Amino acid sequence: MMNGKVAVVTGAGGGIGREIAIMMASEGAKVIVADIGASLSGEGGSQSPAEQTKALIEQRGGQAEICTESVSGWSSAQKIIQAAMDHYGQVDAVVNNAGILRDGIFHRMSADDWNSVIAVHLNGSFFVSRAAAEQYRKQESGAFVHITSTSGLIGNLGQANYAAAKLGITALSKSIALDMARYNVRSNCLSPWAWSRMTSSIPTTTPEQKAAVEKAQKMTPDKNAPLAVFLCSDAAKGVSGQVFGTRMNEIYLFSSPRPIRIVHNSDGWTPESIASIAVPALRSEFMPLDTSEQAFAWDPV
């Protein structure tokens, strides 16, 4: 499904990104494996993870090159896309998968924890996409897949920075889809579930947490790759501006916020009438204060 195409996959040195890169290559794409080889929290750097992914692709008869530039800077993100142009002369698909975690309860979260996560996830998705947009406009084609998370779509404890970035990515994707539709460019989001480095830090101090981890360990990263590859292929023509999810063998489509109930007062509203009339009328439709695990209460299948 990707014959003749060049794909850039960020954060492809392991986990979900590695599996997407491998499947892209197995479907005929030439792949730029972009990964700085940093720790889970974003420190350090190494070529080894990207080299390992490249080796796995080549062992299976595919083609890949690496790029160890960071997504979190404007100029370094430009170099990631330029690597595709230098090695293969084109770019047709971008998967914004790179990420780090700096989890912590909101009232203890530091400015550095906030800025670092926003820089990689949200800024990085913009910088890499913006760099690719120049080539997409020239060729009047291209696809983006941005990795979001139910942490932002629904909610999780101790992840204010990550959740804000991941929900922001869905708005970025929709804006790209709207702005670049005239150039036949598609932009979609994928919210994956998988046991990987990004989830291995989940605490297991309670029976409930242990049960959640046991479920997560069944969801291997490769389960998310087919949808990412499809969304980057020509078979996904006409699919844009959507938020999809993958969980084990499930694929689902998320709704976008829309008005779900309206109250009207021809005399206008006062704080008192809002309290006595509007809120009681709206309360039955309030969103629950739940987490991803509560919203997906059934076992992955």
Q: Shortest CA distance to 9 belongs to which of 166, 231, 176?
A: 231
* Burial degree of 296 (CB within 10 A; 0-12, 13-18, 19+): middle
Active site residue 136: no
CA distance 150 to 124: 19
Q: Shortest CA distance to 36 belongs to which of 63, 68, 77?
A: 68
Q: From the candidates 88, 136, 162, 183, which is the catalytic residue? A: 162
Q: In angstroms, what is the C-alpha Rg of the chain?
A: 20
Helix axes 111-118, 160-180, angle to 10 degrees: 30
Residue 142 CB neighbour total at 10 angstroms:
25
Give catalytic residues, as residue numbers: 162
